[in-house]
Structure 1
Amino acid sequence: MELFYDILKQLIRVPSVVGAEHSFFMFLKRELEELGITVEYFDGVLVSKGNDPTCGYMSAHADRHGLICTGHNEFQYAAFVAKNQVDLKGILNSDELLDNLTGRFVNEKVQAYEPWSGSYLGLGVIKDAFLCERRNNVIFTIDNFDHLLPGTPIAFMDKLEIKDELISAQLDNVISVAIILYMYHRGYKGTAFFTASEEAGRSWRFLLEWFRRFDLTTNELLVLDTSPYSTLEDMTHLDVVFRQRDANGYFRSPLKSKMKKIALEENIKYHYKDAYLKNKMTQNGIKRSLGTTELGRIIHASKGKIQGTTLQFPTIGYHTVNEMTSNRSVESMIKILTKLYI
């Protein structure tokens, strides 16, 4: 496992703010090509192909949360800007969003970088987040960044921490990117997709466009990601997360039964997130969405021509720089992928 953690540590240090993933893609392209993997770059998606491209289709989004400069000493949440939302109306209660962002990110160190080259442009600290009522937008205050130009991405300073069999960092979704790169080291010969702007709800379009570009279909697209839980206890008896469906539709793929069989054989603890959410809603007497996934959107938009399933890490501290999962979850994911593809 030492190689996997070396890969993850490297990738975490390369910024990849939603909407400004190019420099991360270039770093990843080099790492893949060093392994002899063919790499193609399309709008919003980096595609890698081993010696047997149709033996597997894995996907992981490459973007992470961060900020973007929108004016002199003015910084906004990058995912929100990338969604082309003019204000917060209809998105979420603005007070709730403000509390959320303030609690997550105030006092965090951040680094600015040039979006194409990835060149380092300076280090700062988030001092405040406030609601501009005239624009109904959340604005961040950051020290030492008054020299930045609009459009400059700002990433959270991040590093991997390993303690008491738990690992933490801004894991969503660099951990899945690291898993795929590690699988190529292990001998994976199939195709992998690394998508942009998932946190802005746009990545599925880039991936679906790739399949349409080449008039390809599959029922074995496997999307890797993290899956949020509230407390560490929620993860105690859970190594990986499966899904039968999301709010957009059912996942119909032979991969589901294959992964379940592997989990049972390897004593890997799992559950189905959609069933878990349904049970929680029943217990609490409420009705909410089963959640939306990149895959669900693709299935719906392709009218089922592209099908597959998801494989996810259970995590706590979702969308923070301290998102946490377990070493056992990492090992379980690798066991399942190894049995599927190698």
Structure 2
Amino acid sequence: MKPTRRSLTHFLHLLRALVREPSVVGMEDAFFRVLRRELEEFPVTVTRYQGLLVAQGDDPESNYLSAHVDRHGLVCTGPREFQYAAFIAGNRGELNGDSISEQFMTIIAGRFRGQRVQAHAPYAGTYLGQGTINESYICPRRKNLIFDIDGLDFLQPGTPISFVDRLKENDGQISAQLDNVISVAMLIEMIRLGFRGTAFFSAGEECGRSYRYVAEWFQRFDLKTRRLIVLDTSPFPTTNDLSVQNVVLRNRDSVADFDPSITNELKLACDQTKISYRFKDEYVVEMNKSREKQSSIGRTELGRLIEASGGEITGTTLQLPTSSYHTQTETANLSSVHAVLCLLRVITGVA
């Protein structure tokens, strides 16, 4: 699939703007206000809840789509002390070794040297200053990434620090810290195109909390569904791996089995539109056959949600293949972006 540059112009303009906005995990309030301003341009009802922004069209129970708003960043935890925000002490209960983020922590520890970062007021998002990462390392006692930063000595504990990020486009690929902002942009693009269902924008996914906010919304209104589609990125080792498939599907994660009917519906839509796909859980199982160190198939928001609701809220995931996961050079093919949007339009009936 080769998208025309014109077909993605509006999407890329939106994504470029959103990438510049900070949304450090656990401190997403300022980004929620940015999203509200974007969404109120369209004929949808926008409601804010704790950890959640919900946009509903005129047929809200027809389809449910979900994206996460948080991105990785740092938080000041003491004098000249900065830690990886997703793994600070408040989230220790989520760290049991089988998440993709934890497994990638050791890999990405040395990638941040020389990276520019900027600090913001926790709720208002007001710019406070900029610095440069000298070094990052894993503290064996705290089991977290610790950062040495020049230029931000004045910060108080609790201040979020985001990576200075800009969207780059080159030779049919885009790169930035795409996870999770690209999923947010795709959901807004679907609303612009006429999506009539319910769209969730949830906080705290990188620290394993977002599913609680979505679960509580369904429970608040005594609703159930088997048609929740969660958008996300899916990491692969190299950019060469990105061309093997346009999109990534899943039968399950390490927590729960996904709904087979909506998963198969997506698979059939791929076949009909000639979009190539790969099942990530099957891929990981196959790769583990030749690996000495086994990889997890990962925990997802959806798996946690299915487990927490006893299967009353279920669905499947639709993931964008990327490389250089959780860095400012995370890369995706524009053809894959186009494919995800195409599938979403087919599955939700957006003309």
Same fold by TM-score greater than 0.5: yes
2:231 matched to 1:224? yes
1:112 aligns to what?
Answer: 119
- In the alignment, the residues of structure 2 paired with residue 229 and residue 101 of structure 1 have an alpha-carbon distance, to the nearest angstrom, of 14
1:259 aligns to what?
Answer: 266
Say which of 48, 69, 80 aligns to 1:62. 69
TM-score by length of 2: 0.91
Does the aligned pair in 2 maintain the 1:238–1:269 contact within 8 Å?
yes
RMSD of equivalent CA atoms: 2.2
2:273 matched to 1:243? no
- In the alignment, the residues of structure 1 paired with residue 48 and residue 96 of structure 2 have an alpha-carbon distance, to the nearest angstrom, of 35
| Paired letter, 1:77 | Y
TM-score by length of 1: 0.93
Query: Displacement, 1:151?
Result: 0.6
Does the aligned pair in 2 maintain the 1:19–1:82 contact within 8 Å?
no
- In the alignment, the residues of structure 2 paired with residue 152 and residue 254 of structure 1 have an alpha-carbon distance, to the nearest angstrom, of 44
Query: Displacement, 1:117?
Result: 1.1
1:166 aligns to what?
Answer: 173
2:338 aligns to what?
Answer: 331
1:142 aligns to what?
Answer: 149
2:54 matched to 1:32? no
2:326 aligns to what?
Answer: 319
- In the alignment, the residues of structure 2 paired with residue 90 and residue 260 of structure 1 have an alpha-carbon distance, to the nearest angstrom, of 31
Change (3 A) 1:25 1:230: same
Query: Displacement, 1:47?
Result: 0.9
Change (3 A) 1:284 1:140: closer
- In the alignment, the residues of structure 2 paired with residue 238 and residue 91 of structure 1 have an alpha-carbon distance, to the nearest angstrom, of 25
| Paired letter, 2:136 | A
Please list the CA deviations of residues 220-259 of structure 1 after superposition, one character each: whole Å capped at 9, or x if unmatched: 0000000011112222221000001111121115322221
- In the alignment, the residues of structure 1 paired with residue 243 and residue 97 of structure 2 have an alpha-carbon distance, to the nearest angstrom, of 36
The equivalences for 1:173-212 within 5 A come to 173-212=180-219
Instruction: Figure out how many residues of one structure are paired with residues of the other and give that number.
Output: 339
2:16 matched to 1:9? yes
| Paired letter, 1:193 | F
Q: Which moved more, 1:128-137 or 1:262-271?
A: 128-137
- In the alignment, the residues of structure 2 paired with residue 136 and residue 271 of structure 1 have an alpha-carbon distance, to the nearest angstrom, of 33
Which sections of structure 2, spanning at least 5 residues, go unmatched? Answer: 1-7
User: Which secondary structure state, in structure 1, belongs to the residue aligned with residue 290 of structure 2?
Assistant: helix
User: Which secondary structure state, in structure 1, belongs to the residue aligned with residue 234 of structure 2?
Assistant: strand
Please list the CA deviations of residues 131-175 of structure 1 after superposition, one character each: whole Å capped at 9, or x if unmatched: 556656542111111111111100001111111111100000100
Query: Displacement, 1:284?
Result: 3.4
Does the aligned pair in 2 maintain the 1:82–1:200 contact within 8 Å?
no
Say which of 298, 301, 313 aligns to 1:306. 313
Please list the CA deviations of residues 202-224 of structure 1 after superposition, one character each: whole Å capped at 9, or x if unmatched: 11111111111111100000000
Query: Displacement, 1:100?
Result: 3.4
Which sections of structure 1, spanning at least 5 residues, go unmatched? Answer: none
Does the aligned pair in 2 maintain the 1:219–1:253 contact within 8 Å?
no
| Paired letter, 1:125 | T
Does the aligned pair in 2 maintain the 1:20–1:153 contact within 8 Å?
yes
Query: Displacement, 1:36?
Result: 2.8
Query: Displacement, 1:294?
Result: 0.7
1:129 aligns to what?
Answer: 136
User: Which secondary structure state, in structure 2, belongs to the residue aligned with residue 307 of structure 1?
Assistant: strand
Does the aligned pair in 1 maintain the 2:84–2:144 contact within 8 Å?
no
- In the alignment, the residues of structure 2 paired with residue 136 and residue 321 of structure 1 have an alpha-carbon distance, to the nearest angstrom, of 23
- In the alignment, the residues of structure 2 paired with residue 186 and residue 90 of structure 1 have an alpha-carbon distance, to the nearest angstrom, of 40
Query: Displacement, 1:106?
Result: 1.6
Query: Displacement, 1:287?
Result: 4.9
Query: Displacement, 1:104?
Result: 2.1
User: Which secondary structure state, in structure 2, belongs to the residue aligned with residue 295 of structure 1?
Assistant: helix
Change (3 A) 1:98 1:304: closer
2:5 aligns to what?
Answer: none
Change (3 A) 1:212 1:167: same
Please list the CA deviations of residues 109-133 of structure 1 after superposition, one character each: whole Å capped at 9, or x if unmatched: 1110112111111111111224556
Change (3 A) 1:279 1:102: closer
| Paired letter, 1:336 | L
- In the alignment, the residues of structure 2 paired with residue 186 and residue 15 of structure 1 have an alpha-carbon distance, to the nearest angstrom, of 26
Please list the CA deviations of residues 153-198 of structure 1 after superposition, one character each: whole Å capped at 9, or x if unmatched: 0000111111111110000010000000011111111111111111
- In the alignment, the residues of structure 1 paired with residue 89 and residue 223 of structure 2 have an alpha-carbon distance, to the nearest angstrom, of 28
